[in-house]
Amino acid sequence: AAAPAAADAAATYAADVLAGRLTGDVDALAAVHLPEGAALRDAAAVGRVCRDCALLNNSDFPILALRRLETLDARLAAAGVVPSLVDEACVAGVRLVRRELQPQLDSILDGASWKLNMRQTMTMASGVKTTRRCVVETFTKATTGGRLETKITATIPLRLTSCLSAVLIPDLYATWLPAVKESAELARISRFRRLVYLRADHIWPFAQRDICLVGYGDILNATSVVIYLRSCHADEHLDERAATEARSDADHCVRAKVFGAFVLEVISATETRLTNVLYFDPILKVLPQGIIDFIMSKFASQVAPMFASQGAKFEEGGELRHLLDTPEHAPVFAEVMRRLACGGMHESVREGSLSG
């Protein structure tokens, strides 16, 4: 009787996760009800896992989808099963997460190859009648071709939801991101996947720069959220971009390129750690890329306190706090906290992150 029961549970895995009936740490949850032993040679069982991974990815669980597919790959390899059982067309979106998000996550979590370049304690505008400070660390490492990569870590005295608000409401980017004169959410592709447009200030004698971004994210573990962003591919979201990019082309804007990731980690109910790696190419051939990288490393350290100052406006008593209760935004933040709770976040920390 155990085998049919296990098969039934496997058949409803994705639905149970989406409904919150099946919860737990991401890595542990990824292995639940996966085929084992002889079942690894069952094309129907493996195909069901592939479909589950695709559904989870399309439902804004890219990290869980990726971890589940990686665990399946490892089990198939250990059992000597030919990988052709995996429906690669079905899991193409999950493989894309592996190629684009995972390297950025690896870079963020890697503590060995980065060199601490600067540690600063910066005053942030609090949004309420108190003065707050955040500790910002700038790390750099040299890579091939003389490139200089930068990672920023900031300990911010704000709730997780306040920090997330700075990221998840892109229409406000132009009010706090330096050198950004226009920002707009062109489409909400899904709850946690957005299409965003940014246009930079015009710095004579250079043409204006702009970017169309795709951003998405997921729960990384019981205390952390990861957000990935990149420039749009040439063939995606064409209808949503058409009018904005036509106006951009008429203004002779140059489309810059960017990709990177943020990790927001809960330290306590009132403190969050931000870690960020971001790679920016302004398509500016008159300057060597090494000089651009150096400028970006100096610029990046200034973004963290601005990020914190924007987040502070969403704290209790802040001028933007009311936005978190609107029908547009409240379900998004509630779902983030639900997933963290499912992953094991302690209730006292979770309540503090919600209540302010």
pLDDT greater at residue 301 or residue 98: 98
Nearest Cα to 96, choosing from 59, 77, 69?
Answer: 69
Question: Confidence class of residue 26 from pLDDT cuts 50, 70 and 90?
Answer: very high
- Which comes out higher in pLDDT, residue 349 or 261? 261
pLDDT average, residue stretch 156-176: 93
Determine the pLDDT at residue 322: 95
Query: Percent of the chain at pLDDT above 90?
Result: 63
Picking from 48-52, 232-236, 292-296, which range would have the lowest pLDDT averaged per residue? 292-296
Q: Which residue has the higher pLDDT, 48 or 122?
A: 48
Average pLDDT over residues 83-101: 94
**125: pLDDT strictly greater than 80:** no
What mean pLDDT comes out for the span 57-77? 96
Stated as kind and residue range, the H or E segment containing 211 is strand 209-221
Choice among 58-62, 76-80, 155-159, 283-287 with the minimum mean pLDDT: 283-287
Whether the predicted pLDDT of 329 surpasses 50 = yes
pLDDT at residue 111 above 90?
no
Average pLDDT, the chain: 87
Q: How far is CA 168 from CA 160, 176, 299, 317, in A?
A: 12, 13, 22, 20
Residue 238, H or E segment: helix 238-250
As a whole number, mean pLDDT of residues 145-169 equals 89
Helix/strand/coil for 65:
helix
- From residue 248, alpha-carbon distances to 203, 207, 210, 215 in Å are 16, 11, 8, 20
Distance, CA of 199 to CA of 181 (rounded, Å):
6
Q: Give the predicted TM-score (pTM) of the model.
A: 0.87
Look at residue 346 in the predicted model and tell me its pLDDT: 54
Q: Judge whether residue 330 has pLDDT over 90.
A: yes
Where is 268: in which H helix or E strand? strand 257-268
Of residues 104 and 292, more confidence is placed in: 104
**Least confident stretch, 4-8, 36-40, 217-221, 313-317:** 4-8
- Per-residue pLDDT band at 2 (split at 50, 70, 90): very low
Choose the weakest-confidence range: 8-22, 73-87, 290-304, 305-319. 290-304
Residues 215-230, mean pLDDT to the nearest whole number: 94
